[in-house]
Chains A and B, each alone.
Chain A
Amino acid sequence: MDVSQYLDMFLDETKEHLQNLNDQIMHLEEEPEDEGTINEIFRAAHTLKGMAGTMGFQRMQTLTHDMENVFSEVRSGNLKVQPKIIDVLFSCLDALEEYTKNIQETSDEGTNDNEELIRALNECLKKEAPASQDKKASTPKEKDKKTDEVPSQPAEKWEQVALNDTLKNAIKEARADGEECYGINVKIQEKCLLKAARAFLVVRTVGEKGEIIASNPSMADIEDEKFDWDFTLVVISSASLEEVIKAAGNVSEIENVTGGILDLDKAGVFPGKADADQEPKQKESEQTAAEKKEEQPSKAPQDKAEEKEEDQTEEGTAATAEGSQTEKKAPPAGKHAGGKTIRVDIEKLDELMNLVSELIIAKNSIVSATQESLHAQKGLKDNVEYLERVTSNLHESVMKARMVPIENVTNKFPRMIRDISKKLDKKMELYMTGEDTELDRTVVDELGDPLMHLLRNSADHGLEEESVRISRGKNPVGSIFLDARQVGNNVVIEVRDDGNGIDVEAIKKKALERGVITAEAAETMTDKELIDLLFLPSFSTAKKVTDVSGRGVGLDVVKSKIESLSGEVEVHSTLGEGSTWTIRLPMTLAIIKALMVRVGNEKYAIPLASILSIESIHRGDIKTIQNREVINLRGDVIPLVRLFDVLEVVGDKVPAEEMTAVVVKKGDRSAALVIDELLGQLEIVIKPLGKYIKQCKYVSGATILGDGEVALILDANACV
């Protein structure tokens, strides 16, 4: 069966379910008795299994199946949640993630059977609950018996499918050939959004097992979604009824599948009567069952429940919970309740963004044209202003559409810290705030690795051993904080720990050892400058190399990654008390507000976000310290950067008594950039320079001005 077209959907959903499982199991570890959590876990695992099965990823299916067994025992109370079980479950999730990764990359789940994990899972079951094993062994028999009884019940849905004589003859012939004819009824979960797609999958899967000869409603109606929540198929197959039902049940978002051997004497003979029967049934499902009808509906779901149990292992509680029709009607609780959101391909958003960029460029040229023309009518100017407002709002809306909460990356951290805690045998807690802070999607995607590095760093190098913490009078359980918040047009993310802090002397020693700095330089360097050495490639002060961090890669990667996102990273640390790593990122990347300036005969854009102030400087104010020009700006001595020289502008330098300088900041440092003229503020679209031009550190990109000219965007960070 060709399921490749569903692969994307499968991957998306699988990732969601895995994340959900991770969260819930973390929760379970804290509150082993929480029934809601256990049910949620069970549901997620079950759906995952079904999905994997449908897509033909058998190893994944096997593993989830065994996990589900464990959850089921936990849910029925036969198995107590213990740290060991949690560990095994987490390793299973890792294995599943591995499968998912393989599938994403190669469309194949790989060949790792994870036999050890499966064995470990089964051991959990055996050791903890020998009694339940027995119970399990005995249940299938009971169920078999009940399934046999099903066909004898009157007015099953599959008996209402109209069959003409040709079909009946076909069934008879098939039976003579040793095949069997089944009727199956498939009920789709009511939260399912694409029931036609699910139905289609069921039809395909069942179609593989045998031949579908009839359906109610007709195939065309099923494809057009013209059915409530269930539909009926009549199948001729050489496979057993169980196999057919199982195949159909493996499709995700299928609530249950019931079926039986079709009795030709009953089936399709009295379509009129069947309809009459169907009506009250539907009513019952719609409203609270009237008392006198109680008997039938309560019986039907029970049968369904038991059959479900049979093919999908232990689902007793869920089925019982669904036992009453009224409860089924209730919308599924929890996160899955549909919000007002749609999924949009990121490429479509990018395209939209590009169009908005074009529009802004076009708008800018109209603006500059009307400003130049002296005779522009007032009406025109008003309309241009109006256009400016609209494009500005449009831009903002599109930017917002691209924003996602950083939760998308931070939600995997609690699990990571837990694992590190176990591995290092250090007790620690992760506290996160501001996970709902939003950033451009492209930024969020890139943010995961740097944050992970910093967290690991804090866990491994930052936090002390428990004994040390106790001797220092600290809480033996270390704390790591991850705080995100929006500050103006920036997002600030802080990773903080209450550990040892950074040992500046150790850095100095190490730097001297490695020859990174000279002895003289070491004497004059400030603590901050020494700490900044940590961001150099291959500089790790960890006394011992561990699995978690300390291989000498990391902080330099963090720095370069953050800077590639036009952000910056800083660290503050107090020895003995802990350190704080601060990441500052611009909220948007594609379009920014900038100050246009002229240097010589060239135009440059300086992002407003990095500008502190604009100053007028008299030549006499300039002093020199160690051969560098500086100015005293209201008590702060800041370096003066003559852009004309730094940028090697061609042309004649006009010496002036009064100069204009743009003061830019990077972290807590700043510099005054001397320019020739201020040209005004502009909304600019950042265009990448491409691969040919990458050597220039002063330029971060280019933009196209209203008159079609290209101006460069100054990277203020590089000037400070």
Chain B
Amino acid sequence: MNEVTEQKKASENRQFIVIRLMNEQYGIDIRNVDNIVRMQKITRIPKMPKHLVGIINLRGEVLPVMSLRVKMGLEKDVYEKKTRIIVVKTEQEGNLGVIVDEVREVVTLEDAQVDSTLDVRQDGKAYVSGVGKRENGDLISLLDMGVISLEDIN
């Protein structure tokens, strides 16, 4: 029952968490998000790709953490008061934390407001699945968390 209504909503309008990386706004589909936690001490793991910064203790479980900035080819993170870790759900691979500079708000976008034809590939990788246009004129790059999280598995 719940699933049906959710799917129905999805076809009409979707909710996104608006985050900030450097000075750009990105959106993460709220269905991918398990939880948002404050920045905490990250334990580094030797010999890992640069964007996999380490692991944290999330309520007694070990959670791998990725720097979204490094992954997207931006500058290294600067941890500030507003820095957050978004816990992203993936289908089978367990959760993954992604570091963002700030979590701003939750927006609801209708299908008509999402433009998925824009080609915003980075290094040939499509981390962004489309662009959302808000009423106030802001543009939000919508992140494809599936692509981002699964890339490191394979």
A-side residues, CB < 8 A to B, are 358, 361, 602, 646-650, 687-693, 695-699, 702, 704, 708-712
Contacts and interface: CB of A to CB of B under 8 A. Distances in A.
B153 A712 contact: no
Contacts of B45: 689, 693, 696, 699, 712
Contacts of A693: 45, 48, 52, 55, 64
B94 A710 contact: no
Interface residues of B, number: 23
Nearest to A646: B46
- In the complex, the 3 A-B pairs of residues with the closest C-beta atoms, listed nearest first: A692-B64, A710-B43, A647-B46
Nearest to A601: B44
Given A691-B94, A692-B153, A698 B46 contact: yes
A597 to B, nearest CB: 14
Contact of A696 (B48, B57, B96): B48
B64 A695 contact: no
Interface string B43-76: 1111111001001110011111010000000000
B57 A709 contact: yes
Nearest to B64: A692
A710 B47 contact: no
B93 A690 contact: yes
Contact of B56 (A358, A691, A698, A710): A710
A708 B41 CA distance: 10
B43 A709 contact: yes
Contact of A688 (B60, B62, B66, B152): B62
Contact of A650 (B41, B44, B94): B44
Contacts of B46: 646-649, 696, 698-699
B93 A704 contact: no
A689 B63 CA distance: 8
B57 A708 contact: yes
Interface in B14-51: 41, 43-49
B152 A698 contact: no
A648 B57 contact: no
Nearest to B63: A690
A710 B62 contact: yes
Nearest to B61: A687
A592 B63 CA distance: 21
11 contacts: A687-B62, A690-B63, A691-B94, A692-B93, A692-B152, A695-B47, A695-B48, A698-B47, A699-B45, A699-B46, A708-B57
Given A690-B62, A704-B62, 12 more contacts: A358-B60, A649-B46, A650-B44, A687-B62, A689-B45, A689-B55, A691-B93, A691-B153, A696-B46, A699-B45, A710-B43, A712-B43
Contacts of A646: 46
Nearest to A710: B43
B93 A710 contact: no
B147 to A, nearest CB: 14
A704 B57 contact: yes
A395 to B, nearest CB: 16
Contacts of B62: 687-690, 702, 704, 710
Given A361-B60, A690-B94, A702 B44 contact: no
A55 B54 CA distance: 52
Given A693-B45, A695-B47, A696-B46, A702 B60 contact: no
Contacts of B43: 602, 702, 709-712
A690 B52 CA distance: 13
B86 to A, nearest CB: 15
B47 to A, nearest CB: 5
A689 B64 contact: yes
A692 B64 CA distance: 7
Contact of B64 (A650, A690, A697, A709): A690
Most chain B beta carbons < 10 A, residue from A602, A698, A704, A708: A704
B57 to A, nearest CB: 5
A604 B52 CA distance: 19
Given A358-B60, A687-B62, A690-B94, A710 B48 contact: no
A159 to B, nearest CB: 56
Interface in B93-117: 93-94, 96
A358 B57 CA distance: 13
A685 to B, nearest CB: 9
Contacts of A361: 60
A189 B88 CA distance: 56
Contacts of A650: 44
A244 to B, nearest CB: 46
A363 to B, nearest CB: 13
B84 to A, nearest CB: 18
A639 to B, nearest CB: 19
Most chain A beta carbons < 10 A, residue from B41, B45, B61: B45
Contacts of A648: 46-47
B65 to A, nearest CB: 9
A710 B153 contact: no
Contacts of A710: 43, 55-57, 62
A602 B42 CA distance: 11
B53 to A, nearest CB: 11
Nearest to B65: A692
A650 B93 CA distance: 29
A690 B46 CA distance: 15
Contacts of B48: 693, 695-696
Contacts of A697: 47
Most chain A beta carbons < 10 A, residue from B49, B52, B55, B96: B55
Given A690-B93, A693-B64, A696-B48, A702 B41 contact: no
A51 B44 CA distance: 56
Contacts of B49: 695
Contacts of A712: 43, 45
A212 to B, nearest CB: 40
Nearest to B96: A692
B25 to A, nearest CB: 26
B33 to A, nearest CB: 17
Nearest to A704: B57
Contacts of B47: 648, 695-698
Nearest to B93: A691
A504 B144 CA distance: 55
A690 B63 CA distance: 8
Contacts of A687: 61-62
Contacts of B64: 689-690, 692-693
A598 to B, nearest CB: 13
Given A696-B47, A709-B43, A710-B62, A702 B55 contact: yes
A702 B43 CA distance: 10
Contacts of B66: 692
